[in-house]
Structure 1
Amino acid sequence: MKITEIEIFAINLPLIEPFIISYDTYDTMPSIIVKVSTDEGIVGYGEAVPDEHVTGETWESTYRVLKHQLAPTVLGQDPLSFEKIHELMDKTVYQVPAAKAAIDIACFDIAGKKLHVPVYQLIGGRYHEKFPITHVLSIGSPDKMANEAAERVAMGYRSFKMKVGTEVMKDVERIQAVREKVGDDIDIRVDVNQGWHNAATTLKGLRALRNVNLDWLEQPVDADDLDAMVEVKSKTDVTLMIDEGLHGAKEMREIIAKRAADKVNIKLMKCGGIYPAMKLANMAEMAGIECQVGSMVESSIGSAAGFHVAFSKKIMKSVELTGPLKFSKDVGNLHYDVPFICLNERPGLGIDVDENVIQELCHKSCIVR
């Protein structure tokens, strides 16, 4: 089987409400969808959701690098040759992991459809039966975040990921307000998105939060300052997770060597897709570091790919792939049985993609053949 054609669509996914984190506010989510066709008539879909603050890629640059570099590189290749596909992409362009993830995900979708199995069967088989969904609270006032959390508890949610990363003591007020509102039996996970920058500020926040009982604290310091994570870890018993500080194998090796975190957040958009994500998970597992599959707020396409990775590995302890729940219109039909996600057994990614919606949300497109 050979790749014969790649269509690239630059779209904006409409959010139900703005998504606010420490370094940006999103009213819509920019995404690149790829449709990869083969000489056997099998079609696979992939997605890239770049983030200039995390992956160094923009929506515009991702569209261009797919159109001019990556898509021409993989034309004529066997989409089931995952190692070779990645080698060719890596030789063509350095980094650009979200762009490579789009090609990678589409190839796995094709492989599953070709072999009549879900993607998770290609990467280890199904280990988990279901995952609870963690609701993400965007940055807001303490009352707003607390009230939203209470509403979600009433819907059945048992865990929250709180976005913070402004002034540390204002963030402390937000976290304390949510804990007071939801009680002690609900898991609260705090994601600072680098907003506290250094170990001193982080430790100040943790001292003020010593009685709040956090499930874990995610990426409080600057992504490149792994030594600050080591310092924080040595001075607290709060579980620490690295997100922006982990992209690929290079960072994972250093995290393992320095014992810089208790958990790592693996995102397909940061590492280059399903195939590299599995390599990172294997490295973490050998080192005894728990993993989560996280999100750049992808559509059903990218989210489904992440779920297949999560469901296939014992070391995956949590998922935060809630993009489709945040959109007023989505390009696919990934199903959530809130507050759980239960993957089906359909071939490939296991979702239907609505090309009419892609066209409706599309700003520009091209075909590489």
Structure 2
Amino acid sequence: MKITKIETIPIRLPTRRVHQWASLTTPIGVYVIIRLHTDEAVVGLGEAPVLKDWGGDHGKYYGETPQTTAHIINDILAPALTGQDPRRIEAVHALMDKSVKGYPYCKAAIDAALYDVVGKAMNVPVYQLLGGCFRDRVPIAHSLGLMEIENAVEEALKAKGEGVKTIKLKGGVDPKRDVKLIRQMRKALGPDTKICVDANQGYPTAKLAVQVTKAMEEYDLLYMEQPVEGIDQMAEVAKRVDTPIMADESAWTAHDVLEIAQKKAADVISIYTTKPGGIFKAKKVAAVAEAAGLQCNVNGSVETGVGNAANLHLAASTGVVTLGCVVPVSTPKGKGKKGIAGIYYQDDIITEAFDFAEGDILISSKPGLGIELDEDKLKHYRLDS
């Protein structure tokens, strides 16, 4: 089997509401879908959920856009990979890294498509290629962007009513507002719902992050995610608070997680399929985290159903992923469940909605990623047609 062509398809999905976090100026949902073609007529799907504002500590990793993604894949990666065997996933990764440094979201899109091709060719779901199905359902965490407190509480109550057991609050812009938000959220949700806060590096100093986190601790905070920028600053916070600290922007690669563990900068790692450059490397991130005794969840950039399917196969096959995952419940308009739990878009480009029950996404056992593109929707939301 040989790779014959890779297509890049920029799209824009309409959001259900504005989803904002500290430092984000780009709307979510303006992403790139790829189709990887082979000489045996097996086609793999992948997604690059790129954001120009999204990156790692101190410029270590940097934002990507639909335009840079199209250039890197069309002009560099696709020519390099044409003629390669998609089943040799590690070798393809080595060739991608040799062809261009960085651009992990581009490489992650291709990686997902490789796994999709291999799964389809072998007639098995992707999780079988990753060690098998450790769990057949993945609990979601419903993420609330920066919004008025009253609106956040209202949406959290709706999500709880639909079965969600973990609520993630965005903060990091106004410390007083953040403390007030979790106080009112805990009062409204009661003691049984888990609540976590994601500051997206928003607090300028470790001292302030410690003050804010300590002020939240009486409201039973599950974890504080990325309160500050930089692993050393994170370590300062972690040693001075009782609440577990999650690393996200600080934790892209297995090497990052090793440094985090050595410096005791976090208790939890947010694993993406995209940050390290694909599922193949995300499994390495998980292995280092597990060896270091760190908990994990699977997170992402609020992908469409294509990227979310990749996230689900990672979560389903990885034992150390024990916390609620911010994986959207991808739901094409007019299909699937009613309500708002885990739903951030008005529509999707896949043909069928994810199965959702009691706050969990049920894992598909269909071959490959288990999803198909709705060609009419793809044409409708395509940006370059």
TM-score range relative to shorter protein: over 0.9
Q: For residue 334 of structure 2, what is the aligned residue in structure 1?
A: none
3-state SS of 2:274 partner: helix
Aligned pair count reads 363
Equivalent of residue 117 in structure 1, options 116, 120, 124: 124
1:294 aligns with 2:267: no
Equivalent of residue 94 in structure 2, options 87, 94, 111: 87
Q: What 5-or-longer segments of structure 2 have no aligned partner?
A: 56-61, 331-342
1:229 aligns with 2:234: yes
Q: For residue 13 of structure 2, what is the aligned residue in structure 1?
A: 13
Alignment of 1:248-267 (within 5 A): 248-267=253-272
Cα distance in 2 for partners of 1:93, 1:103 equals 14
Root-mean-square deviation (CA), in Å?
1.4
Cα distance in 1 for partners of 2:277, 2:238 equals 28
* Offset of residue 27 of structure 1: 4.5
Q: For residue 142 of structure 2, what is the aligned residue in structure 1?
A: 135
Cα distance in 1 for partners of 2:233, 2:128 equals 39
Contact (CA 8 Å) 2:11, 2:31: kept in 1 or not?
yes
Residue-by-residue CA offset, 1:267-316 (whole Å, 9 max, x unaligned): 11211111010111111111111111101011111001011011111111
| TM-score, with structure 1 as normaliser | 0.95
3-state SS of 1:358 partner: helix
Q: For residue 326 of structure 1, what is the aligned residue in structure 2?
A: 344
Alignment of 1:197-346 (within 5 A): 197-222=204-229, 225-318=230-323, 319-322=325-328, 324=330, 325-332=343-350, 333-338=352-357, 339-346=359-366
* Offset of residue 323 of structure 1: 6.3
Alignment of 1:70-109 (within 5 A): 70-109=77-116
Q: For residue 161 of structure 1, what is the aligned residue in structure 2?
A: 168
3-state SS of 2:227 partner: coil
3-state SS of 2:275 partner: helix
Q: For residue 42 of structure 2, what is the aligned residue in structure 1?
A: 42
3-state SS of 2:150 partner: helix
Cα distance in 1 for partners of 2:371, 2:98 equals 31
1:191 aligns with 2:184: no
Cα distance in 2 for partners of 1:195, 1:69 equals 35
Which amino acid in 2 is paired with 1:118?
Answer: P
Which amino acid in 1 is paired with 2:210?
Answer: L
Which amino acid in 1 is paired with 2:246?
Answer: M
| TM-score, with structure 2 as normaliser | 0.91
Contact (CA 8 Å) 1:298, 1:323: kept in 2 or not?
no
Which amino acid in 2 is paired with 1:289?
Answer: L
Cα distance in 1 for partners of 2:160, 2:370 equals 29
Which amino acid in 2 is paired with 1:326?
Answer: Y
Equivalent of residue 375 in structure 2, options 326, 351, 355: 355
Name the one with the larger strand percent: 1
3-state SS of 1:279 partner: helix
3-state SS of 1:20 partner: coil
Which amino acid in 2 is paired with 1:322?
Answer: P
* Offset of residue 197 of structure 1: 2.9
3-state SS of 2:131 partner: coil
